Amino acid sequence: MAQLAPVVTLAATGASIYAQGQEAKRQKKNAQIQQQNAQIQQEAQQQVLAVQAAQDTAERQRALGRSIASARARLAAGGVNPDQGSGAALTAGLRTAAREAQNADDATYAARLSAGRKSLLDQDASLTNWVRAGQGLGRVVKSLLD
């Protein structure tokens, strides 16, 4: 009977290692599915951000066009040539302000995109199951040697 104990222990350990391997496979598959879902969500978020950025850019261009047209009309009504002197300086200033605002929006867009990225350092816990299986095998070997 004493001779059967190590065999039973070895068989139980083998079954435990097999079960842990199957659990590791399930966890790996679940992690892959979650990663795919996260990637799909990230792509959707990036598309939304891209559309918003495009809309903001288009609106800024329309507003700039209206502002320049209005300023030119006021200058022309006041008898000032809008293409020279202070009229040209005003137009250049409006364009510079619009360009700076666009650069700020571009920086915000880039920051939002980078904030949504998953880290490569995220753990998927796939190694943990193999470590546990190794510990179980170590206990069996130790009990056989004792």
Structure confidence by residue, pLDDT tens digits, 88-105: 888 888 889 888 988 888
pTM metric for this prediction: 0.51
For the record, the structure tokens of 63 come out as 């507003």
Q: How far is residue 64's CA from residue 94's CA, in Å, rounded to a whole number?
A: 7
DSSP 8-class letter at 117: S
Structure confidence by residue, pLDDT tens digits, 75-134: 888 888 878 887 888 888 888 988 898 888 888 888 877 776 555 444 555 556 566 666
How many residues are there in the chain?
146
Q: How far is residue 29's CA from residue 146's CA, in Å, rounded to a whole number?
A: 39
The 3-class SS string of 113-141 reads HHHCCCCCCCCCCHHHHHHHHHHHHHHHH
| Cβ contacts of 20 within 8 Å, gap of 6 or more | 129, 130, 132, 133, 136
In the chain, domain spans: 4-119+126-145
Specify whether the CB–CB gap between 64 and 94 falls below 8 A.
yes
